[in-house]
Structure 1
Amino acid sequence: MPIRDDESWDGAEVKYMEVVGVRVEMPSNQPIVLLKEFDGERYLPIWIGAVEATAIALAQQGVVPARPLTHDLFRDVLEGLDAHLETVNITSLSDGIFYADLVFSNGIEISARPSDSIALALRTGAAIYAHSDVVDEAGVPIPDEQEDEVEKFREFLDTISPEDFGRTT
């Protein structure tokens, strides 16, 4: 059962996060995935690789590649083993690097990169949580009056394709 915002892991407060999407940060041309607090106004930008950005964008757009990508394969292996991913927990931020854990139905937790974790969560329907300290440290508040900018960003996300990241499926 997923953790709710009023619950915790290791005694720490957590925040339920939703995936807004991916974009390319200029001028560095570096992809980021943007998460948002479900019941808040803070956004959590995580810099990721182009391959992971493509995997996240494809999952959000509902694109099914002709052959399974790595995250699709992982999802299929979990289904074949009759296991499922319960939650993705973004646990910490150290020296600019985010850390995450995959929490499986059998109680096993495995450390993973947040980008891979998010791509897998989108394919499996797993909930994504971030430790409140991570959101406090790296979260960017965007007040309601700036929601127009967020909506423009969402519209941008609807127009991107894997080719925008320099890779095709």
Structure 2
Amino acid sequence: MSADGFTRMSIYGINMDLFSSTPIVILKVENDNRYLPIWIGQDIARAILMKLQNQEFPRPLTHDLTVNLVNELGARMERVTVTKLEDSTFYATITLEIDGRTVEVDSRPSDAIALAVRSGAEIFAADEVIEEAAVVFEESMEETAEEEIVDKFKEWVERVSPEDFREK
């Protein structure tokens, strides 16, 4: 657990739930072997992946536009936070700094993550969310055989359904 109740995360990747054909964004606890899977929509998965793969478009897409608006209005995205898991639904906030004030805006986690990859904002998750929903590996996934990783995620996915972890 962190001192302030929130833990820094990074985007580990986006996978597909084979049972529901729904994308899952996987956040990784920094310096730990815990992973937080969040089911997201196809369009947001595509938006996150495009930015992670440095794909550029001649015109701004929705998340690019949002970041441009925030910047043009003199604000800065400081961080995005997966704040809670309630009734199988993830919640998030986007923290903005505007003229020395901190403003928190309610968001779906997927949109918050799509904005974070565009703005450079840090990603956090509440410790309670991590405790409740994270998948734990004995050793680093980088040091684990790929088959074991796939088997562990398959085991976990068999126990849950997309309804268990919907975002709102």
TM-score greater than 0.5 by the shorter chain: yes
**1:69-127 alpha-carbon deviations (Å, 9 max, x no partner):** 11000011111112110010110001111000100012110100000000000000000
The code of the aligned residue for 2:133 comes to A
CA deviation after TM superposition for structure 1 residue 22, in Å: 1.0
Residue 78 of structure 2 aligns to a residue whose secondary structure is strand
Q: 1:19-57: per-residue Cα shift (whole Å, max 9, x none)?
A: 012121102101010000002110000000000000110
CA distance in 2, matches of 1:139, 1:97: 14
Gaps of 5+ in 2: 151-168
1:118 aligns with 2:113: yes
Distance 1:51 1:25 in 2: 15
- Give the fraction of aligned pairs with identical amino acids, expressed as a percent: 40
The answer (yes or no) to whether the contact 2:33–2:141 under 8 Å persists in 1 is no
Is the 1:91–1:99 contact (alpha carbons within 8 Å) kept by the matching residues of 2? yes
Aligned amino acid, residue 110 of structure 1: V
Between the aligned partners of 2:77 and 2:141, the Cα distance in structure 1 is 34
Match of 1:104 among 85, 90, 96: 96
Closer, same or farther in 2 for the Cα pair 1:145/1:53, shift >3 Å?
closer
Q: Secondary structure at the match of 1:28?
A: coil
The 3 A distance-change label for structure 1 pair 26 and 103 is same
What is the CA–CA distance in structure 1 between the aligned matches of 2:141 and 2:117, rounded to whole Å?
A: 26
- Counterparts of residues 60-79 of structure 1 (less than 5 Å): 60-79=52-71
Structure 1: gaps of 5 or more residues: 154-169
| 1:133 partnered with 2:119 | no
Alignment partner, residue 44 of structure 2: 52
In structure 1, what is the equivalent of residue 160 of structure 2?
A: none
Describe how 1:1-169 pairs up with structure 2 within 5 A. Answer: 6-8=2-4, 13-106=5-98, 107-144=102-139, 146-147=141-142, 148=144, 149=146
Residues 21 and 56, structure 1, Cα contact 8 Å, conserved in 2? no
Q: CA 1:124–1:7 in 2, change beyond 3 Å: closer, same or farther? A: farther
- SS class of match (1:84): strand
Backbone CA RMSD of aligned residues: 1.9
